[in-house]
Amino acid sequence: MLDKIIEVTEVLNLSSDDRNISGIYCCDLPSNALGRLKKDNIWITVIASLGVIMTGLASDVSGIIITEGHRPTDEIIAIAKQRGVNLFLSPYDNLKTAEIIKNSVS
């Protein structure tokens, strides 16, 4: 469940907090992630773009965590809200964020 992720990240959008987490995937290339993300994955990336939101939506991820303090524009956050994409921020790099998430949901 996303409650553990909510505890360790900044929430930008939470459309549904009852999504399961099937795994964690780290990748900064939306085109690569599109073929590898699985339903209900948490996607960890440094990229704060509309392409990331749309890839996450197409892959039906449980949420997207944007790392290293990168923050999407207000427009991108609004689109995530409109499309129902759970969106979080982490001040840490991808690896540290993945470790924190893994340890918090184990």
User: The pTM is what?
Assistant: 0.94
> How many residues comprise the chain?
106
Per-residue model confidence as pLDDT tens digits over 10-61: 999 998 878 888 999 999 999 999 999 999 999 999 999 999 999 999 999 9
Q: Does domain 3-105 have CATH number 3.40.1390.20?
A: yes
Reply yes or no on whether the pLDDT at 76 is more than 90: yes
Q: Residue ranges of the domains in the chain?
A: 3-105
Degrees to nearest 5, angle at CA 76 with 62 and 52? 50
Could you give the count of Cα atoms lying within 13 Å of 38 in the half-sphere of its Cβ? Answer: 6
- Phi first, then psi, for residue 91 (nearest 5°) are -80, -10
Is beta strand 63-66 parallel, antiparallel or unpaired with respect to 41-45? parallel
